[in-house]
Structure 1
Amino acid sequence: MGNRLSKIYTRTGDAGETGLADGRRVPKDHPRVEAMGEIDTLNSQLGLLLAELAEAQTRWPDLAELIEVLGPCQHRLFDLGGELAMPEYQALTEAEVARLEAAIDHWNQELGPLEDFIMPGGTRLIAMAHLCRSMARTSERRCQQLNAMEPLRAVGLAYLNRLSDLFFVVARLIARRQGCAEILWHAASAPASAGQ
């Protein structure tokens, strides 16, 4: 990937199409472009979460461990976007999926079993981690839609799936390390029957 941007605007996309690295021009709502866009959105949200974690670690130093694990994820998401833009480019490896799984398993030992559904929120950081989780799920869905049309490498799909799981665990871990009780889901009361 030796190319670098020398000009930010090109005017070539004004008519609703964009160019892929292989020379193809596709509509901006093409499933490949949609998948790339969702991954970019997720990466931006992850950047915000990382910035907030960096500020919060002065008060909660044990949040630094999360930054160490999540920081490389930004680069791997950029790699995945590159794979979508240039189908011949292959950057993600199974080792990255294994890295996420190891973090999930390690942190789950600290958290213990989940006994109820939890809601996004409690603190700003928890809510941001849940937002990353939901954006990872959306990115995965967009990639699966593309995969149905143009098969993708399985490792990228697995990476997004594990990443959403990681964000869920991160949200729980932030709550624990900030000393914030998780917000448990309360089911709606059953409606009264019409005859009562």
Structure 2
Amino acid sequence: MRIYTRSGDKGTTSLVYGVRVPKNDIRVEAYGTCDEANSFIGFAVSFLQDKSFQEKEKIVKIFHEIQTILFHVGAELSTPEGKEVAWKLEERHVKTLEGYIDELDAKLQPLSNFILPGGHPAGAALHTARTIVRRGERCVVSIENLNPAVVQYLNRLSDFLFVAARYVNSVFQIEEQHLHQE
């Protein structure tokens, strides 16, 4: 099987069921942005692979689960309105993320001020993934009649990535940089 098809050479691409749309269609922008976030999550995880900390296997498993669910988000976004979605997001996916947020947040010092994104390379990559997810969320809200769980999941995912970035930085004993008041 060849990786190139030449079918997009004129600026269109196929959604699920073969529906052709321009490459700048909001659905393509939305699932492309989610794919970008997914890649950045993978980038963050790559910084954790050679590090040793108590809950490494557990946190890496969570990230891999989230990456899989982001493919489900992509399936929803690339399915034209009115067609059957192969991997439909459900409220349970949102609830699972909320559980992960609560679990990691309980291990952190409460926030008293805004923090600057950065820290350990994994933490910095998670902050970047968070901003990409926010961009994806802004795209998704423009799509009519979309499963509401998609917007909810992306909203919660950005919260999770923020908490996960803080968690990773704390594991590696990187002090958070607070916003300076001028």
Same fold (TM over 0.5): yes
Q: Which residue number corresponds to residue 156 of structure 1? A: 150
Q: CA deviation at 1:36?
A: 1.2
- Contact preservation (8 Å) 1:54, 1:64: no
Query: How many positions carry a matched residue from both structures?
Result: 178
1:163 deviates by 0.5
Question: Paired residue for 1:194?
Answer: none
Query: Which one-letter code corresponds to 2:154 in the other structure?
Result: L
| One-letter identity of the residue aligned with 1:28 | K
Which of 79, 89, 107 lines up with 1:86 in the alignment? 79
Residue 116 of structure 1 and its aligned partner are, at CA, apart by 0.6
Q: Say which of 111, 129, 134 aligns to 2:131.
A: 134
Residues 63-72 or 36-45, more deviating: 63-72
CA distance in 2, matches of 1:53, 1:136: 21
Q: Secondary structure at the match of 1:129?
A: helix
Give the whole-Å Cα distance in 1 for the aligned partners of 2:44 and 2:66: 12
CA offset digits 1:122-179 (Å, max 9, x no partner): 221211110111111111111112x2xx221000111111000000000111121111
1:21 and 2:21 correspond: no
Secondary structure in 1 matching 2:175: coil
Distance (whole Å) between structure 2 residues aligned to residue 103 and residue 125 of structure 1: 18
Matched, 1:103 2:100: yes
> Max radius of gyration: which structure?
1
Q: Write out per-residue CA displacement over residues 22-43 of structure 1, whole angstroms, 9 at most, x where no aligned residue.
A: 2321110011110111011111
Tell me the equivalent position of 1:49.
44
Uncovered stretches (5+) of structure 2, i.e. residues with no partner: none
Cα distance between partner residues in 2 of 1:123 and 1:110: 17
TM-score by length of 2: 0.92
Q: Aligned to 1:117, which of 110, 114, 117? A: 114
* Secondary structure of 1:29's aligned partner: coil
Q: Using the alignment, how far apart are the partners of 1:99 and 1:38 within structure 2?
A: 22
Cα contact 1:19–1:25 (8 A) shared by 2: yes
Question: Sequence identity, in percent?
Answer: 38
Aligned residue runs from structure 1 range 60-71, under 5 A: 60-71=53-64
Paired residues of 1:63 and 1:174 also in contact (CA < 8 A): no
Unaligned runs of 5+ in 1: 1-5, 190-196
In structure 2, what residue type is equivalent to 1:83? E
1:38 is aligned to 2:51: no
The one-letter code sitting in structure 2 at the alignment partner of 1:55 is D
